Amino acid sequence: MKIAIIGGTGLIGIALSKELKNRGDEILLISRDSHSAKSKNKFAVKYFKWDYKTHQHLTVQINNYDAVINLTGEPITGKRWNNSYMDELRNSRIEITKYVAEAICNCSEKPKVFISSSATGFYGNVKNEILNENSNSGNDFLAKLCVDWENASEKVATENIRLVHIRTGVVLTKEGGALKKMLLPYRLFLGGPLGNGNQWFPWIHIQDEVGAIIFAIANDKIKGPINLTAPIPVKMKDFSKFLGKVLNRPSFFNVPKLALRMVVGKVADVLVSSQRVLPQKLLDSGYKFKFVEVEDALKDLLK
């Protein structure tokens, strides 16, 4: 297949590109800096520099491609949240997704599927309620961002293009992301859960994140939102316990929400929010997870 990936220089994009190349797909990597993209992600056949405002140029590039995957967006926990960075979080998702959707609709030979990123933050802070793809959205900043993010791509559905929103949880990978940030306190014997530890933690192994995206590309019946989380979510205190067990370190130094707020600002609310998310559509469609238990996932990544 011919697959275009936009924003493919992050952890998910690189891992996905590698797997697609291994199975023989032709990858076009679209980025604001094609030279930097090529140094970070060496698995594409072609690289295209796009300034994210001239969708006509993008249309020429993705015309006659089988699938377009949109992974753009500034990291949620990349910086301390202030009004400027919160605007950046929105613009790097919503505005760019609108441009991509417009470019797709203008193609004479349109892609068969558009897979666009979202997040489990869509559901807000929901404590113990079991969440699937039909659950309501939340009311906090991240939830509203995700709603607008998904709505930004809806235009392609009117062109009879299959649209999939991947609501990704916390992706576990040894290459970086949340897991890497958690390791240092444990290695200093200071590890423990964030907040009170009772919040649900919607995790997924990087292999299943990639596997589920490829599964969605191939499965014509998958449309709309799909949760990219493991089938067995755990509470933060249990995740921390398993992480300590795998690292052979204690796990009892709770980091109170107030302390988190002093360090990282408003994003602390996201770090201690609770989302008991199930990947119901993936399970119903027959996707077989490689990692169901979080302890097995941590052993695979850290042993």
Q: How many domains does the chain have?
A: 1
Is the separation of the CB atoms in 165 and 226 below 8 Å? Answer: yes
Domain, as residue range, for 226: 2-234+269-302
3-state class of 3 per DSSP? strand
Closest CA to 216 of 182, 179, 165, 173: 165
Element (H, E) at 22: helix 11-22
pLDDT, tens digit (0-9, with 9 covering 90-100), for 140-178: 999 999 999 999 999 999 999 999 999 999 999 999 888
Give strand ranges (E) for the chain: 2-6, 26-31, 46-49, 67-70, 113-119, 130-131, 162-168, 170-172, 200-201, 203-205, 224-228, 234-235, 276-277
Give the mean model confidence (pLDDT) for residues 118-129: 95
Q: Is residue 260 part of a domain?
A: no
**Across the chain, what does the average pLDDT equal?**
92
Question: Facing residues of 226 across strands?
Answer: 166
Is residue 24 predicted with pLDDT exceeding 70? yes
Q: Is 97 inside any structural domain? A: yes
Per-residue confidence (pLDDT) for residue 54, from 0 to 100: 64
Inside any domain, residue 188? yes
Tell me, what's the pLDDT at 56?
61
Does 220 reside within a domain? Answer: yes
pLDDT, greater one: 252 or 296: 296
Does residue 262 belong to any structural domain of this protein? Answer: no
Closest CA to 14 of 66, 71, 62: 71
**Is 250 domain-assigned?**
no
Residue type, 104: I
Quick one: average pLDDT of 91-105? 93
**6 secondary structure, DSSP code:** E
Residue 264 belongs to some domain of the structure: no
pLDDT for res 256: 80
Residue 198 has pLDDT above 90, yes or no: yes
Any idea what the CATH number is for the domain that residue 202 is in? Answer: 3.40.50.720
Q: Model pTM? A: 0.94
Pairing of strands 67-70, 130-131: unpaired
CA distance 278 to 38: 35
Look at residue 263 and tell me if it is in a domain: no
Q: How many beta carbons lie within 10 A of that of residue 285, not counting itself?
A: 15
